[in-house]
Structure 1
Amino acid sequence: MFADTSYDALSMDDIARQAGVAKGLIYYYFKSKRGYYLAIIEDAVAELVARAEQTRDLPPAERVQQTIDGYLRYAQHHQAAYRAIVTGGVGFDSQVLAIRDGVRERLISTIGALAWGLSSPPPVARLALIGWMASVEGITLDWLQGQELERDAVRALLIRGLRDTLCAIEKFAPQCPAPSAPRL
Structure 2
Amino acid sequence: MNNSQPRGRAARATERSSSRRAELITVGRKLFADTSYDALSMDDIARQAGVAKGLIYYYFRSKRGYYLAIIEDAVAGLAELAGSTHELAPYDRVRHTVDGYLRYAQHHQAAYRAIVTGGVGFDAEVLAIRDAVRARMLTTIALGAWGREDPPPLARTALIGWLCSVEGVTLDWIGERRLARETVGALLVRGLGDTLRLIEEYEPDCPAPPRPPAR
Fold-level similarity (TM above 0.5) = yes
* Partners of 2:82 and 2:136 within 8 A in 1: no
User: How many aligned positions are there?
Assistant: 184
Secondary structure of 2:33's match?
A: coil
Aligned to 2:119: 89
Q: Show CA shifts across 1:23-66 (max 9, x none).
A: 21211121100011111111111110112222121122221111
Choose which of 61, 64, 68 in structure 1 pairs with 2:91: 61
Is the partner of 2:122 in helix, strand or coil? coil
For the pair 1:78 / 2:108, whether they are aligned, the reply is yes
Q: Do 2:85 and 2:97's aligned partners in 1 also have CA atoms closer than 8 Å?
A: yes
Any residues of structure 2 matched to 1:1-184 within 5 Å, and which? 1-183=31-213, 184=215
Distance 2:172 2:80 in 1: 24
| Cα displacement (A) at 1:106 | 1.7
SS at match of 1:53: coil
AA paired with 2:87?
A: D
2-side partners of 1:55 and 1:16: how far apart?
39
Unaligned runs of 5+ in 2: 1-30
Q: Deviations over 1:69-108 (max 9, x none)?
A: 1000110111100000000011111111111112111211
8 Å CA contact 1:52–1:70 kept in 2: the answer is: no
Aligned equivalents of 1:117, 1:79: Cα separation in 2: 33
In the TM superposition, what is the alpha-carbon distance from 1:162 to its structure 2 partner?
Answer: 0.3
C-alpha RMSD of matched pairs (Å): 1.2
- Higher gyration radius (CA): 2
Unaligned runs of at least 5 residues, structure 1: none
Sequence identity percentage: 70
